[in-house]
Amino acid sequence: MTVRLLYFAWVRERIGLQSEALALPAPMPIAELLEQLKGRSAGHDLALADPSRLRFALNQLHVGRDAIVNPGDELAIFPPVTGG
């Protein structure tokens, strides 16, 4: 099974993709998944280098890096949003 990854704002720009599917053989924390993603390309490494600068939505619910991603889930990765 796979997990669907969605990228937004400068994360998308650095990775060069709006979304991608990744084989996920077993559930894992977002933090561990990010480490695996870094090796996919130089853009992934750049975009995911500092996870403290990122926010996550797992199946459209905001979560922290300790949340568990399961096969079949959707994970959005984006920078913090500010408004005015």
Q: Find the mean pLDDT for residues 54-70.
A: 98
Q: Which domain holds residue 53?
A: 2-78
Stretch 62-72: mean pLDDT: 97
Average the pLDDT over 78-83 and give the result.
80
Which run of H or E residues covers position 76? strand 74-78
Interval 9-28: pLDDT, tens: 999 999 999 999 999 989 99
Domain assignment present for residue 84? The answer is no
CATH of the domain at 56: 3.10.20.30
Per-residue pLDDT at 83 exceeds 90 = no
Q: Is residue 52 part of a domain?
A: yes
64, part of any domain: yes
The residue with tokens 């996870």 is 51
Q: How many domains does the chain have?
A: 1
The model's confidence at residue 82, banded by pLDDT at 50, 70 and 90, is low
The answer to whether position 56 is within a domain reads: yes
Confidence at residue 81, expressed as pLDDT on a 0 to 100 scale: 78
